[in-house]
Structure 1
């Protein structure tokens, strides 16, 4: 299938990494982005070994090392006194175990690395998809104020509010999870007095939790503060939040948490909505990728990694010689169970992170100390060992 024409809608992390994987197997890829300029909302992103494996194979190891931060550990802590509940090495021990490193990065830095690796003539900005029509052997794409395009395969990598998904399967009805998230970036020099290690930290407490880690060459500290709340109407990454509200929500928490929130100039707030796994991702010559088909809560730090995996598996399937509809069915068969499992685990972590102090919380802490819960190496091996370019049907790891 070399020379197969593939149109990718969306030039985010998922769309651009998919374009690179598809180009690597000889596809003729064109990426269409509705915005007039490339950009990424949000702040930090985790690139775990299952994703860095793919990006290294695409030739991006040097650039990832330049823009990424390699944390020493994942440090899960108690909310008030900061007592360690579980500390899992993420530096050289993790790379020795899984073969590839773990990076923390600013989303915009990672996007820039991906965009620079895709030939500029293959990225078409200002192209808002208004519809598509599949014929027997091609898909015609229509854009607002732009010429139509024809492709052999259409990939909707257009995010959580995907137009391609809605055209295929109708509108979604996301469910508010009862959580809102404050997020922000703090210049690292403002935090020197807090003596914060180069780790990914998770402070867990009643009804909320707080995540922080360095990005942008350790120049910035990224944080996400999750708070339970009864209701919310909008689903947006760009609503301004009040720093004072975040400080109030985390009153009495560890001094590092209070110190980071006190040092931030501005914060943004967004509501977390949950979506049940889709029964299907593909129809004919059209399929979905990333948040368009498996948006997940950020409680496993796997959203971007799963989108990167999608692109690698899609490229493998399209390069396998089958006709595109059959290749897309195989892609769905290989990817959907794994992504759905990750969605479920991400949702479950909301409960585990937010337990009130008491017997359940004490049992959780004992399980963490025994290495019987997430982020011990044995438990996460099915995630980190996975090679999405050589996938197996159960979403695990070939042995």
Structure 2
């Protein structure tokens, strides 16, 4: 079984709305195609750390993000090149096909449709048919005609109740002129579990392999995989475009464990492609950073779920404090919170953190802070001079109760409004809730 188009041919699995089942479906589809001997390269549209873990586990290779808001076509072409050789790309969409945030003056607002238009990959539309029948055709037709630069090549019906239900829905699709590639019944077992920032991370699930295998069996039984593959088209984005984000050092000590896992694969791959060496270490295993590193980078994640262990991690604490006296340290979101003086968790308990910044954060009251952000650095941070403009996103429930240090950046939302969160700097240490994606044009 081989794809009909060479090199970076792909499909986008999109949906009409969040919660339609596209992550489970895409995870199962990727593994089902891998079992047929194809090398599948997974991608995720938009700013997401958790879904890519499942897609990457199914494919056996890292899942890269493609972002219509934060990346230009050159950056996306560079990421396709970083992904390496594969037979077929499968990209999971974000939210509904055309959903995006406000983006005044931008051609790309961050929707799945933006990625489809940029890559030229056809869209396979997932429709949750649980409470409809022929109306599925009207919905598919509306999506297919909404943007002329987006090709909706076929439909997969999810949560179909019976064969009769499928036949009625297919009647509507036939009337719309859009092919049905398969239908999947509602599935009670094998769901991907959730927590406050989305799905539970793939690396935390001991039964992940059996869940993925079950999803693949479910997908393979209901979808015409051969017909789906024939719809793939080559990407319009080609060439070895370098990413504009230089590594922050030649040797980067990178925290990597269940508490610190939110860093984009294109960042790590781009650093390595530029000649940097990554030196992973685990704070939860009480490991200090490698003393030979030029910089320590603490990614985001779930430090609040492991706060007592981090408080008690003496070797990690002393190693970080010694490193920060001589060399740069940077933290993003959860990493930023860990660099601070303390975290107050939902139960009201305060846990002492590294104290490299004066920052105090709290999950009381719980309030989501979510969205794309633009940052202009007021202070230098590792690898980036003051005045550099960056683009990224913010996604957390914790709030700041005390921040006595110098602000790191002016941060704005997509409308241009200045946000209260500035990040902070103290000596060699910098941090922010801002998750870095790329340099801003």
- Could you say whether these structures have the same fold, taking a TM-score greater than 0.5 normalized by the shorter chain as the test? no
**TM-score per shorter chain, which class?**
under 0.3
Q: Which structure carries more relative contact order (alpha carbon 8 Å, separation 6+)?
A: 1
Question: TM-score scaled by structure 2?
Answer: 0.25
Report the structure number with the largest CA radius of gyration.
2
